[in-house]
Structure 1
Amino acid sequence: MDPRTFWEETYEKASPVTSGKPSAVLERFVKDRPVGRALELGCGKGDDAVWLAKNGWEVTAVDISETALGYARSNASRNGVKDRIAFEAHDLNNSLPDGMFDLVTAQFLQSPVKFAREKILNRASQQLSLGGLLLITSHGSRPSWSWVAEGTVFPTPQQALDALLLDMREWDLVTVDNFERMATGPKGEKGKVTDTVIALERRA
């Protein structure tokens, strides 16, 4: 299926209600950083973008789904931060927002339909200012509610980093590791999951 159609249908079936909470990894690695300009890839319903804006960031938040972006704009309005977030529709296979950023965040930017994820993340990393943070979180395990096939072997953190094809002479490592947490599925399911986290700073 065409990616735009897939994600439109996915969000059209979803509730506009959000958790109101940021991604755990985003909060953990960004809460103490100096604020600046942030690029969020795959913003969904907007909770991460709202959290960043509430904490002083100027945010460009991207999603392929206009329905998701509508939910996210409403979320930003409810929280009084719509003027700090620019929501943009992009098929990341084809385009990225213009500009340079102090933070590029991609929290679970994964898809069951065709998606050149590693190439996209590599391109986005080139839009980081010196000293900026690249923060990528991906699924490192399969919860019971996942669309990922049973028996899937997940990359190690190092394998996930290697797949980005970054020139590591340009980066300082903050963390490349797995972290466990308790998660809630779309129907209230509870389970322990593993997050694979890559956090790198562009060398000044």
Structure 2
Amino acid sequence: MRHADHTRHADHTRHADHAEAAESRTAAEEWDDLYRENERKWSGSPNPALVREFPEPGPGTALDLGCGEGADAIWLARGGRRVTAVDVSRVALERGAAHAEEEGVADRIDWQWHDLAETFPEGTWDLVSSHFLHSWTELPRERILRRAVAAVAPGGTLLIVGHVEAPGGGRHGDHGEEGDAGNHGPHATELPTSRQVLESLDLPEGEWEVRRCEEEERTRTMPDGRVVEYTDTTLRLRRLPA
């Protein structure tokens, strides 16, 4: 799908039309159409929160949920990780695979198609990363993130980054995510704070350590010259060794 430069913005009216059309179309069709609007939808740069939390990714395995065009997956693979990159858009996955080939890390990334509302990759990983898992199509985000919890290996990390306040203000979301996260996009529902995300995961007592749980305010100048404000959430958890 997980995401001009690496800030996802477009016209609100156009996306209202997307939302209306989504009632009769699959999420995969909606996201494929969104990606086809541009030769490259996002910047190809990894999400800043991922770079901050893992400046030197190192060895191990990683699962990138909603990888989009693959910038995060490629960043992790360049750092030595073996990555499973998942998205609902086959168009995005094809672009990610082509970019990985150009970067010389194609053999370190397994690109998998999943509609996370229906299916989830099998296995466990040292890092499970979810950036801006938002969508204007139907998306059971809490259920997906609970499955992400179960996919973290003992001693591993779960990183969840999302919006709590959308560009321009208001807790209603938009398509202003950075990087190449998937299942992203405009939506009308309120978005949770990092603390609310943490509580929704229903983590077993004594099995997890909270490394970061906070909001971050940011500003960004858009290609059309607008300066927009964000409030994003970052939740970093470590599963204690067995």
Q: TM-score, normalised by structure 2?
A: 0.77
2:192 equivalent to 1:161: no
User: Which region of structure 1 is more displaced relative to structure 2, 52-61 or 24-33?
Assistant: 24-33
Tell whether the 8 Å contact from 1:142 to 1:148 is kept in structure 2 after alignment.
no
Q: 1:60 to 1:158 in 2, by over 3 A?
A: same
SS of the equivalent of 2:165 reads coil
Structure ranking higher on relative contact order (CA contacts 8 Å, 6+ apart):
2
Match of 2:107 among 72, 78, 83: 83
Match of 1:35 among 59, 73, 76: 59
Q: 1:155 to 1:98 in 2, by over 3 A?
A: closer
2:200 equivalent to 1:176: no
**1:68 corresponds to:** 92
Match of 2:235 among 189, 198, 201: 198
CA separation in 1, counterparts of 2:94 and 2:50? 22
Cα displacement string for residues 71-130 of structure 1 (whole angstroms, at most 9, x for unaligned residues): 111111121111111100001112122221000000001111111111111112111111
Tell whether the 8 Å contact from 1:103 to 1:133 is kept in structure 2 after alignment.
yes
Tell whether the 8 Å contact from 2:216 to 2:232 is kept in structure 1 after alignment.
yes
2:111 equivalent to 1:94: no
Q: How does 1:48-63 map to 2 (within 5 A)?
A: 48-63=72-87
CA separation in 2, counterparts of 1:113 and 1:175? 29
User: Which region of structure 1 is more displaced relative to structure 2, 139-148 or 1-10?
Assistant: 139-148
**2:27 corresponds to:** 3
Tell whether the 8 Å contact from 2:57 to 2:81 is kept in structure 1 after alignment.
no
**What is the total number of aligned residue pairs between the two structures?**
202
Tell whether the 8 Å contact from 2:134 to 2:187 is kept in structure 1 after alignment.
no
Identical aligned residues as a percent: 39
CA separation in 2, counterparts of 1:29 and 1:81? 21
> Match for 1:31: what amino acid?
P
Q: 1:11 to 1:124 in 2, by over 3 A?
A: same
**2:70 corresponds to:** 46
Q: 1:163 to 1:193 in 2, by over 3 A?
A: same
Q: How does 1:101-140 map to 2 (within 5 A)?
A: 101-140=125-164
Q: 1:143 to 1:168 in 2, by over 3 A?
A: farther
SS of the equivalent of 1:140 reads strand
> Match for 1:11: what amino acid?
Y
Tell whether the 8 Å contact from 2:133 to 2:162 is kept in structure 1 after alignment.
yes
CA separation in 2, counterparts of 1:168 and 1:179? 27
SS of the equivalent of 1:35 reads coil
CA separation in 1, counterparts of 2:222 and 2:135? 17
Tell whether the 8 Å contact from 1:44 to 1:69 is kept in structure 2 after alignment.
yes
SS of the equivalent of 1:68 reads helix
The root-mean-square deviation of aligned C-alpha atoms, in Å, is 2.0
Q: 1:185 to 1:49 in 2, by over 3 A?
A: farther
